Amino acid sequence: MEISAQNIAQLINGEVEGDGEVQVSDVSKIEQGRPGTLTFLANPQYTKYIYDTKASVVLVSKDFIPEKELTCTLIRVENPYHALATLLDFYVQSKPKKTGIENPSYISSTAQVGDNAYIGAFAYLGQNVKLGKNVKVYPHVYVGDNVVVDDDTILFAGAKVYEGCKIGKSCIIHAGAVIGADGFGFAPDQEGHYKKIPQVGYVEISDNVEIGANTTIDRGSMGNTIIGEGTKLDNLIQIGHNVEVGKDTVIVSQVGVAGSSKIGNNCMIGGQVGISGHLHIGNRVQVGAQSGIMHDINDGEVLLGSPSMGHRQFFKTMAVFRKLPEIFRELNSLSVEVKKLKGSN
């Protein structure tokens, strides 16, 4: 589908600078721009590419000032990255939507399926399942007994939702994600054997949550594991039993959150972070990649390192750490001098 720069600008409330009639039918990276494509400039590090890009249209911020002549058409917007997301969403929404029930699939006689739903081949819907309007259940999805999936949510191929869990509106659950598996609960006996503690809680996922491929969210041992509205979980994340994650929090790949920890609103947690159990992480907390969190965190803190510490303290510590070999040599030299002085006395 081709669309003009002028029509694009109308969709995102932008201002055209250049040929408003130029047509695009695809998107490209700014450094690999091709004629007939749209790209964007949001990171100043990529500014150098705009002068040579072959892309026909570039989204830029309203305060962008070119230092050289440009061959592309510009569309000025408040936030190029957000504008691109809006356009891509418009493109996805314009695609034909899957509907209907494919065979073979299993749908319990007690399940309720909303209007315009899609049930892919080899999907399984258990007893008393409730699917809202426009829900998409792709092939090989398992939806256990008494699960509720609200309107406009998508379960991609191979996702598994165990018994009793609840998923809100407009959520996206990617392939291979497992919602509601048992939490890791075992009680050791006097002989050192481990007896399984039944996990009788559920998982509650609020509206507008996205859960990445092969991410696992364990059901509560008692009570529920809760994921707040608007939160985004990357691929390959482990969320333990009875964890609570607040609203609009972003968690990157390979993070592990141990049981019963609580994470606040608007947090940003980098890749491979480990969070111990029974902790309280405040609102607006930022945690750098590979950090280890072993204590409660107050609102607004920025943490790095394992064990984690405030980012300023971390950088000071690393500055000393890099000098340790030199410090060690100086310490040895001083030790030799002290021994000589003591010997002379």
State the catalytic residues: 241
CA distance 122 to 103: 7
CA distance 194 to 187: 5
CA distance 75 to 59: 5
For residue 108, which amino acid is it?
Answer: S
Contact by Cβ (8 Å): 146, 140: no
For residue 309, which amino acid is it?
Answer: M
Contact by Cβ (8 Å): 309, 316: no
Count of Cβ atoms closer than 10 Å to residue 159 Cβ: 26
CA dihedral 183, 208, 159, 102 (to 10 degrees): 150
Instruction: Categorise residue 317: left if φ over 0, alpha if ψ from -120 to 50, beta otherwise.
Output: alpha
CA distance 122 to 106: 7
Q: Which two tokens stand for residue 165?
A: 């869990």
The residue behind tokens 């399942």 is 129
CA distance 259 to 30: 43
Q: Which two tokens stand for residue 22?
A: 């130029």
**Is the N-terminal amide bond of 198 cis, ω within 30° of 0?**
no
H helix or E strand, kind and range, residue 170: none
